[in-house]
A and B are shown apart, each in its own frame.
Chain A
């Protein structure tokens, strides 16, 4: 087989190589009909090739943009190399976007074809088809319910593959030649950033960007063909593209697709991946589940659990970091591993985990410590779509909860005068698609990229992130106001799911909270608190008491740090509805959209500052299918007494 230029610089070339090198090793797994089905690299090559030939038969050519919409399914992952082999550019799109959100991306990218998961996505595209003049074909993976669709531009994925197979072996030489034409500097994929502000931007990443970043990451944590990962994060997110596609292709490891988005936890338990990535909220969620379940467990189990967690808390991290630990403590830890940590890791599907990463948001120190103490090598990394993920990562043995690590291989870091973090690396994106202005704003001529995050390098050369540079504000009295810093402190409490801090240009800081239904409902059940709905529970006086305790603790925390002592929370309220991406309040990656929330909840924010103790509001909500409704409630507001700042006390003495 000829691979053109010979250099391994594109993913289709890697696919050909993997099929030769790891032929009979697993490349991909998918749980279907209750059984894990496996494709070897050779079988995967066959699947990709037949689909690719099918696409070629439909007229896909170099430079064509192909949207990929759906959850983590093998056929959608195969679409990437199948399109790339022909010189096309895949554009994964967030599958849970509503039609209006999708229109913009598909229009902007001038998508010619869309490969989608199922009827739901087909319906979504059909509803906007007339606004997409470039869209010629829609290809669906799942036949279910597609029986009486007679639109001429719909194609069945499997049938297209059959078509491709029928063209073999005659078409193979041409196909290999197509792959050979691909070069490292070519556009490989376009990922639309969800964008906390404004319209999404199409980040163009070249093969060089992705291949080099993937290879660096593989050698940093020594991943090879023996590793296994579970793919469950959105295809459109750069992390998934690197972990489940880039790194798998370059290292040859196996990617496992869950049965459905609802079965990820169970499927992870079955696969026990060696490499696991999750945003902090997943680790938080898992810990919350464990805590809630332990509260319902028998007395002895609870005792054992807490005793050994204490042991782990004392020595676990030291053992993981390779520090010296006394013999008795080591013995206790080993016993604990047998009785508690082992079974716990097994339940979490982490018993084989070599490396786990978390990124995207700050992780609670307690949560981080918990996982590390039971012997899981959980680390933090800092990355961006524009950087092909990796900017910094924590090397083994140099772990702490409040840094994001040292610069990744080949990455240079610089801090601007205003405190903003800049980086330069081989992974730096080519530019934003059709948006030179934004490209110029973000990327300097010398190749430095503005992250938009404020941070500093500590004495060990580890990067610390404070907040989004543009979000750090000032109160009227001149104190610094870092909203995310406050919000994260609040969100570290399992009972608080989301928090929004307000204070820029105001007299004091106020927050709006979202309760986390699972632990709060469990707590309500144990305390005989009756409620009929989320709204009623959120507004319950005892829930407010609990929240007041949490807020008070955060205030005490803030008071002890000189720089942020002035940003203590004076008033708070608990929102009557969960912040939701469907209402545009969160991005698809679940980050708070500040400006939108400020507009939407303006009456509540005013009430936080006008001294009133309650406020009636009506809020519009959008259902998953795009229809609208509204909910109304009277929201209580609580006053908090701030703590005296430590630093000031000392200064007074």
Chain B
């Protein structure tokens, strides 16, 4: 689809405007005796694409789960838009502007693309159940407004041709796109993407990269993504934080991180 594969997005090209959106301070997460995340601190700036990378089991997904309130860390604090929070439910996180996609696609497989993305709007719907039951009147106006927004997303992600199809029947690459659409429907300030390109072929990866960059630029959405494909990370991310065995081993711009000896050791292994 896209003829441009290099310089999609130059790292540190000044899109991030410097203001802090989210800050993780000395977070530690344990499951019984296992320490999944140990004393990690980093920040995410408004408008940037922040990558979280690391070998398998490094604690990347756990980190995302901590950010969106799925796990509650035993120690440390998380500050989102200046508010420090202790415990937060995932739906509270969603309401406060954090949306995410999952490593394994988690859609309503029997529902159409349209309905799946519409479901992402449910938090934005204000009319109560009784009003919605009668449909005509205020509930319809609301539905039309939301549908408009959803159609914009469908147009944006180029999935008009599968609008009415049940997502369970769609190929994997398209399901991932629908999932991104549902997350976008929330109009999040912070979008968490857990391996958005896992299991995709080259063309699908390029398409997805383009969508991520476009979301970032067009909607100004801040993005935190976990990704294994180093090429993708180097192209997309403004800054990268590297985890290994639950610890932070590097943090900085892609080129810096790539040259960091700790990172090389973590990925390639070192003789002990």
Contact = CB atoms under 8 A, between A and B. Distances in A.
Interface of A: 32-35, 99, 119-120, 123-124, 127, 144-145, 147-148, 259-260, 262-263, 266, 623-626
Contact of B2 (A120, A148, A262, A263): A120
B3 A626 contact: yes
Nearest to A259: B160
B154 interface: yes
Contacts of B203: 623-624
B3 A124 contact: yes
B217 A148 contact: yes
A107 to B, nearest CB: 19
B158 A123 contact: no
Nearest to B148: A33
Contacts of A147: 217-218
B148 A625 contact: no
Nearest to B213: A145
Nearest to B154: A34
B160 A262 contact: yes
Nearest to A147: B217
Interface SS, B side = helix
A624 B163 contact: no
Interface in B184-203: 203
B272 interface: no
A33 B152 contact: yes
Contacts of A625: 2-5
Contacts of A33: 148, 151-152, 154-155
Given A33-B148, A33-B152, A144 B214 contact: yes
Interface in B100-150: 147-148
A145 B152 contact: no
B161 to A, nearest CB: 4
A616 B161 CA distance: 39
Contact of B4 (A35, A123, A624): A123
Interface string B157-183: 010110110000000000000000000
B248 interface: no
Contact of B1 (A120, A127, A260): A120
Contacts of B91: none
A259 B244 CA distance: 46
B103 to A, nearest CB: 25
B220 to A, nearest CB: 10
B140 to A, nearest CB: 15
B239 interface: no
A33 B149 CA distance: 9
B160 A123 contact: no
B210 interface: yes
Contacts of B267: none
A37 to B, nearest CB: 12
Contacts of B2: 119-120, 123, 625
A145 B218 contact: yes
B161 A262 contact: yes
Contacts of B158: 260
Contacts of A124: 3
A-B pairs, 7 with minimum CB distance:
A262-B161, A33-B151, A34-B151, A263-B161, A625-B3, A259-B160, A123-B3
B42 interface: no
Contacts of B217: 145, 147-148
A127 B147 CA distance: 38
Contact of B163 (A32, A34, A144): A34
Nearest to A33: B151
Given A99-B3, A145-B210, A266 B151 contact: no
Contacts of B155: 32-33
A382 to B, nearest CB: 33
Contacts of A35: 151
